[in-house]
Amino acid sequence: MKIALVGYGKMGKAIEEIALNQNHEIVARLEKKPTQENLNGAEVAIEFSTPSTAYENVTACLEIGIPVVCGTTAWLDKLPQVKDICIKYNGGFIYSSNYSLGVNLFFEINKRAAEIMHKYQEYTVHIEEIHHTEKKDAPSGTAITLAEEIIPIYGFDGWKLSYKTNNNLLGIEAKRVHDVPGTHTVIYNSPIDDIEFKHVAHSRKGFAIGALIAAEWLIGKKGIFTMKDVLGF
Ligand SMILES: NC(=O)C1=CN([C@@H]2O[C@H](COP(=O)(O)OP(=O)(O)OC[C@H]3O[C@@H](n4cnc5c(N)ncnc54)[C@H](OP(=O)(O)O)[C@@H]3O)[C@@H](O)[C@H]2O)C=CC1
Ligand SMILES: O=C(O)C1=N[C@H](C(=O)O)C[C@H](O)C1
C-alpha cells in the first residue's frame, strides 16, 4: 500500500515502523491538513492526529477521494457530518476508538458480561482507564465505547467521569500515569467479591497492526465502517 500518515506523532511513528516491515510505502508524513499535492499519490490515509484537527483532516481526504482509517479520539460529535461527506463523495471511511484485536475481543466480552451481570443487582459496575500523561482527552475513546455497550443493557442515562456509578450514570475513572500505553478495566463490585475484566496494552504495536489491517481492508470499498466490519464480528 501507498500510505499517507496524517498525524506523525506516537501513533504515526508506530504505524510507520510496522508498515515498513510489511513492505508498505509511506508516501506522506503530515502534521497539517491533507491536500491533493501533499498526499503524494497515497492509496489510503491513516489519521491519528488530535481531537481538534481530526474532523478537518478526515473530510479533506474524503473530498480529495482518498479512503481514511481514523483512530483519533474525542471528535465524534462531528461523526454525522463525516458520514454525510463520505456518502456525498462516495468514499471509504473507518473509525474505531481502538484498532487492537485484543480490545475488539474485549468489546465483545464486555457486552456479554454486561448482559449477564445486569441481572444481579448486588454487583455495581464502573470502568477504569489508565493512560500516559500526554493524552489530551479523558475519558479515553475506548472507555467511552465500553460504556456505550454497557449503558443500554443497564438502562443508565449516560456516563460521567467519576470513580463510581451513581445517579443512574455509569462511572468512568480516568487515571494518567507516565508511559502507560492504555489499560482498560470493567469492574463489578459486590459486598462479597469483585469481578474485573481487564485489557492491558503492552505497547502501541497492537493499535498500529490493527490500523494497517483496516487500511488494507478498506482500499476499494465504499461506505462507513468500523473494526467490527473488518474483523467480521
Ligand atoms: N484508535 C486507536 O486505536 C488509538 C487511538 N489513539 C488516538 O490517536 C490520537 C493520536 O495519538 P498519539 O499519536 O498518541 O498523539 P501524538 O500527540 O503523539 O500525535 C499527534 C500528532 O498529530 C500532529 N498534528 C497536530 N496538528 C495536526 C494537523 N492539523 N494535522 C495532522 N497532524 C497534526 C501533532 O503534531 P504537534 O505535536 O506538532 O502538534 C502530533 O505529532 C489521539 O486522539 C489518541 O487518543 C491512540 C492510540 C490508539
Ligand atoms: O491516546 C492514547 O494513547 C490512546 N487512545 C485511544 C483511546 O482514547 O481509547 C486508544 C488507546 O487506549 C490509546
Average pLDDT over residues 99-123: 98
Q: Which residues does residue 185 pair with via DSSP β-bridges, in sequence order?
A: 128, 198
Instruction: Give, in order, the Cα–Cα distances in Å from 160 to each of 3, 181, 192, 198.
Output: 37, 22, 26, 20
Q: Residue 112's domain spans which residues?
A: 101-200
218 and 161 fall within a common domain: no
125 and 84 fall within a common domain: no
Which residue in the list 24, 126, 135, 184 is annotated as catalytic? 135
11 and 82 fall within a common domain: yes
10 and 87 fall within a common domain: yes
67 and 156 fall within a common domain: no
Ligand 2 near 98 CB (within 6 A): yes
Q: Which of 15, 73, 95, 99 to mutate to test the pocket of ligand 2 (most atoms within 8 A of CB)?
A: 73
Indicate the pTM of the whole model.
Answer: 0.98
- In the reported structure, the alpha carbon of residue 13 is separated from the centroid of ligand 2 by a whole-number distance in angstroms of 15
List Cβ neighbours of 215 (8 Å cut-off, separation of 6 or more). Answer: 1, 3, 44, 46, 67, 69
181 and 133 fall within a common domain: yes
178 and 196 fall within a common domain: yes
Residue with CA at minimum distance from ligand 1 atom 9: 72
**pLDDT tens for residues 121-169?**
999 999 999 999 999 999 999 999 999 999 999 999 999 999 999 999 9
**pLDDT tens for residues 41-90?**
999 999 999 999 999 999 999 999 999 999 999 999 999 999 999 999 99
The C-alpha atoms of residue 126 and residue 147 are separated, in whole angstroms, by: 9
Ligand 2 near 140 CB (within 6 A): yes
Helix (H) and strand (E) counts in the chain: 8, 11
Whether the Cβ atoms of residue 208 and residue 15 lie closer than 8 Å to each other: yes
106 and 196 fall within a common domain: yes
160 and 74 fall within a common domain: no
Residue with CA at minimum distance from ligand 2 atom 11: 182
The CATH number that applies at residue 126 is: 3.30.360.10
9 and 95 fall within a common domain: yes
Which residue in the list 24, 78, 111, 131 is annotated as catalytic? 131
The predicted complex's ipTM stands at: 0.99
- In the reported structure, the alpha carbon of residue 174 is separated from the centroid of ligand 1 by a whole-number distance in angstroms of 19
- In the reported structure, the alpha carbon of residue 35 is separated from the centroid of ligand 2 by a whole-number distance in angstroms of 26
The CATH number that applies at residue 78 is: 3.40.50.720
Q: Among candidates 51, 1, 46, which has minimal Cα distance to 208? A: 46
pLDDT at 20: 98
Grid cell digits, residue 64: 480529495
**Would residue 160 show up in a list of annotated catalytic residues for this protein?**
no
6 and 87 fall within a common domain: yes
8 and 89 fall within a common domain: yes
* Number of domains into which the chain is organized: 2
